[in-house]
Structures are given as C-alpha cells and as structure tokens.
Amino acid sequence: MRHLKSGRKLKRTSSHKKALLRILATSLFEHKKIATTEAKAKELRPYAERLITKAKHALQREKQGILPDGQTIDVHNRRIVYRDIRNKAVLEELFDTIAPMVEDRPGGYTRIVKTGFRRGDGGRTAIIELVDWSSPQDGAVGLKGKKRNAPKKEKTVKEQIVEDFEDEAEETTIDEDIVEDTASDDTSAEEPKVEEVTTEDTPVDETPADKPDAEEINAEETPSEDITEDAPTDETPAEEPKAEDKTEEQKKD
C-alpha cells in the first residue's frame, strides 16, 4: 500500500512524468485551454499554478523595484521557470501577459471541467483552462438557461434531404406566385392603352375614304345593263337573212 504517497504516477517513470507535465503546461500557457484526461488535468493543475505564481512574484518585484542594480526585469525567476518551460515565446507570454492578468487573484488560476468518458477505452476526460481567459461560469444556472444554451442535435442525412426538398418546393411556389402577379400587372397595364387608341384614332362618325359611295356604284352598273340590251338587237338582223335565204332555196327546189 502507498501510505503518505500523494499524487499519481500515471503509469510512467519520474522522468517521463516530468516531461509530460512540462509539455502540458507549455500547451496550457500557449492556448489557455487544453483537453486531456481527468488524472492528467489534476496533476497539471498544481504544477502550472506554481509556475504562474513565480511569474506573478517576478512582476511584483519589478514594480516595487526590488531588483539587483542594473536590472529592469527579474532574471532569476525567469531562469527558474525556463527549466520547465523551454519555449521562449511561451515564457514571454507567461511573464508579460498572463502574470498581469492574475496579479490581483490570490491563487486558483485554473479550472477543471469534466467532460465524460472517452469512447475508446472509457477513460475519464476533462478540460483544464485558465480562469481569466474562459467564459464566465460562476453562479447558479437555471434549467431555462441550460435548455437555451444546449447544443443542437445533428440532423441525419434523411432529415437533411427532406428539408432541402421542402425548401426547393417553397422556392418554386414563390416563383410561380411572382410570375402570376407580374402577368396580371401586365394585362391591367395594357388594357387602358387599347381603349385610348380606339377612341382617338378611329372615330365612329367618320367614313373611310377608301369605300366607294352608293351613287358611284349605281353609275357604274347602268352601262352594263345597256350593253346587255343592245346585244340581242344586233344579233337579230344577222339571223333574219339566213331564214329568208332558206325560203328562197326551198322555192327554187
């Protein structure tokens, strides 16, 4: 039994565990939030908060002017933290950005949020984040707020296809309504134009110039009647001598 043995071995050697915590702390200071297992998050929390406290103390000493002669920054604390955080960009982020944000906070710089179980091996997962860079979660939360902020369920392929089909049907009906409205507007706009043209351009009382008068028609028809009457008078004298000639020939015979 492990009496008086605090902490977790995480199934690693001491050197392997130190390297793991260094990498996790570097990622936490860089991204302000990481997802890992619950055991690793609980081991990382005191390790990272000690480093943040070192950076906060260095900031306080710089403001108070308690530094060796000729120094403007606390080189000693930066070198101690550099043993664990080997990335210079992340080291500057810790001392220049994170430390001023947590200057007035008396500890508790991180938060652990449990996120359930891992699907592969059933391990407990969690999220560890810096409190000053996370959304406010302190205080009681009502059921209504949980329902509003609850994530929406992902739609299945069948539901998505049905919604797309309904949207297309609605778009087609809208287009047909627009076409009908435009057609009715065009017909209503054209009708008064036709009426205006008929009333102005074609008066009812006036007669067209191309139509001939009734007197002219009668005058043209009369000569044709005279011609038909004269035609039989001319034919009768020609036929009479033929009849006389026949009678004379019969007499001679």
Identify the pLDDT of residue 56: 96
Identify the pLDDT of residue 24: 97
CA separation (Å) from 229 to 215, 217, 226?
A: 22, 20, 5
| Strand, coil or helix: 206 | coil
Nearest Cα residue to 48 out of 30, 75, 65: 30
The encoded tokens of residue 49 equal 């908060």
CATH architecture type of domain 14-136: Alpha-Beta Complex (3.90)
* Low-confidence stretches of the chain (pLDDT beneath 70): 136-155, 157-158, 171-253
**Cα angle for residues 98, 104, 108 (degrees, 5° grid):** 70
pLDDT in tens, 24-78: 999 999 999 999 999 999 999 999 999 999 999 999 999 999 999 889 999 999 9
The encoded tokens of residue 174 equal 């809208």
The encoded tokens of residue 42 equal 């609980």
Identify the pLDDT of residue 28: 97
